[in-house]
Amino acid sequence: MKEVDCRGLNCPEPVLRAKKAIQEINAEDILVIVDNQSARENVIRFVKSQGRETQWQEKDGSYHITITEGKTADESGKSNTTDAAENVTYRAEVNEGTRENPVLFISTNELGVGSSELGIMLMRNFIYTLTKTDHFPRAIVFMNSGVKLCVEGSPVIDEIGELQDNGVLTLVCGTCLDYFELKDQHKVGQISNMYDISDLLLGADRVITV
């Protein structure tokens, strides 16, 4: 059995490592170890979406999730194939409706409203996760404080560069860089203008604002 130790790892790393193990190992059983309930539920939900079995138990303060093939069982050992089928169907419907690569509009260097520290961490995790997905966005537009993600000191410069290397167009608002006096610190992305950005957004089938 392949063991994937994800203790101490933040979201979304446990799911990404479980996904990699499933892709590499195929039919072999996999043991994923996590140390918090959120990671446990996220891994189980992903595994169900892949049509695989899961069983878990708490051991030594951690959660040991066994991934196999066949009927899915919950912690009490009861069959949970209905939930698994619903997850697979739901994922298929979502993917079917979102197959067209969207344009992402990022207008802040934080994700969500509330804690600024948490928002910065979530945005970093979001950009990192984009590099691990099966379907990249068509383009990403960085505007307002979102341009801070593309300058010296940003924790996601390498990730944005990786997205560019995979064909993702990245446009960075030049006016915004000037406003924050960051143009000299620009490191990644194509400096652009409102005309080109507007043209891209208006011509997109779907725009997702982050």
Q: What is the pLDDT along the chain (210 residues), one digit of tens a residue?
A: 888 999 988 878 888 888 888 888 766 788 999 998 878 888 888 888 888 888 999 988 899 999 887 554 444 344 344 444 444 443 444 344 444 689 999 999 999 888 999 999 999 999 999 998 888 999 999 999 999 999 999 999 999 999 999 999 999 999 999 999 999 999 999 998 888 899 899 999 999 998
Same domain, residue pair 119 and 197: yes
Residue 181 is part of which domain span? Answer: 103-209
Which H or E element spans position 59?
strand 53-59
Q: What is the pTM of this model?
A: 0.66
C-beta atoms surrounding 94 within 10 Å: 11
Same domain, residue pair 91 and 129: no
Same domain, residue pair 81 and 121: no
pLDDT tens digits for range 54-105:
899 998 889 999 988 755 444 434 434 444 444 444 344 434 444 468 999 9
Same domain, residue pair 91 and 111: no
Boundary-marking domain end, from 43, 64, 97 = 97
What CATH number corresponds to the domain at position 15?
3.30.110.40
Q: Do the beta carbons of residue 73 and residue 66 sit within 8 Å? A: no
116-130 vs 157-165: helix crossing angle, rounded to 10: 30
Same domain, residue pair 143 and 89: no
pLDDT at site 89: 42
* Number of separate domains in the chain: 2
Same domain, residue pair 112 and 145: yes
Same domain, residue pair 108 and 203: yes
Q: How far apart are CA 63 and CA 124, in angstroms?
A: 26
Same domain, residue pair 113 and 203: yes
